[in-house]
Structure 1
Amino acid sequence: MMKLNTSIRKRFRVSNKVKKVAPKDRFRLSISRSAKNISAQIIDDTKKVTLLSASSIEKDLKSSDKINKTELSKLVAQKLAKKAHEKNIKKIYFDRGSYKYHGRIKAFADTLRENGMEF
């Protein structure tokens, strides 16, 4: 058995708790961030398939220089909400991973809610 480090254990702990209480008719929104970028994907856990994703590394978002990271995460959230609306996905559950619900993650979630996503 491989020993997991603290951050990986924390991510699994948060994800598993969220999965237990989440309704089965919803998809999971998994989020990941680095020092500069943020990305998110909507996952169907029953089929184990990524339905759609958005990232700050994509070309149309990367061209917007001189923007702070919180604003960048809001742009990514708007893009993801638009893609989800096109695929008729309204209800999701938010898997924040090992990140605190604070700062860029909170801005991302609030922007998704403003753009019609329910979680």
Structure 2
Amino acid sequence: MTTKIERRIKIKTRVRGHISGTAERPRMTVFRSNKQIYVQIIDDLAGKTLASASSTAIEGGAKKEQAAKVGAEIAKKAQEAGVTSVVFDRNGYLYHGRIKELADAARNGGLKF
């Protein structure tokens, strides 16, 4: 019997075997805890984080609303760093709920993936 976390890590490992971030299309990865949501834009070849955002500084609102604000913030920071196109790494989470809200807000902010 596998736990929910073990299942997510198994999916994460499988997906990470297929995708990688480059200088032209860095990887946008999401981490979701019970209270917060974090997102980073990473160039895997250079091993550097180009931009990051989290919901720790956002006050109030539902979790989905916070995720949407984080998505808009990461899109803004990515444009400042000169990134327009990314590879989305959902990190083993289902593309549903907070992950979907964050991705949609990042797309509306100008990121392409």
Which TM-score bucket, shorter chain as reference?
0.7 to 0.9
- Residue in 2 aligned with 1:98? 92
Q: SS at the partner of 1:106?
A: helix
- Residue in 2 aligned with 1:7? 8
Deviations 1:54-96 (A, max 9, x none): 00113xx1xx22x100000001111111111111110101000
Structure 1 residues 23 and 53, CA gap change in structure 2 (3 angstroms): closer
Q: CA RMSD in A?
A: 1.6
- Residue in 2 aligned with 1:84? 78
Q: TM-score, normalised by structure 1?
A: 0.83
Aligned partners of 1:48, 1:37: CA distance in 2, in Å?
24
Assess if the C-alpha contact under 8 Å between 2:28 and 2:87 holds in 1.
yes
Q: Runs of 4+ in structure 1 displaced over 6 angstroms?
A: none
Give the count of matched residue pairs.
Answer: 108
Among 64, 67, 90, the residue aligned to 1:70: 64
Gaps of 5+ in 1: none
Aligned partners of 1:88, 1:24: CA distance in 2, in Å?
10
How far is the alpha carbon of 1:101 from its aligned partner?
Answer: 0.6
- Residue in 2 aligned with 1:52? 51
Residue 113, structure 1, aligned to residue 77, structure 2: no
- Residue in 1 aligned with 2:39? 40
Q: TM-score, normalised by structure 2?
A: 0.87
Which of these two proteins has the greater Rg computed from alpha carbons?
A: 1
Q: SS at the partner of 2:19?
A: helix
Q: SS at the partner of 1:80?
A: helix
Gaps of 5+ in 2: 1-5
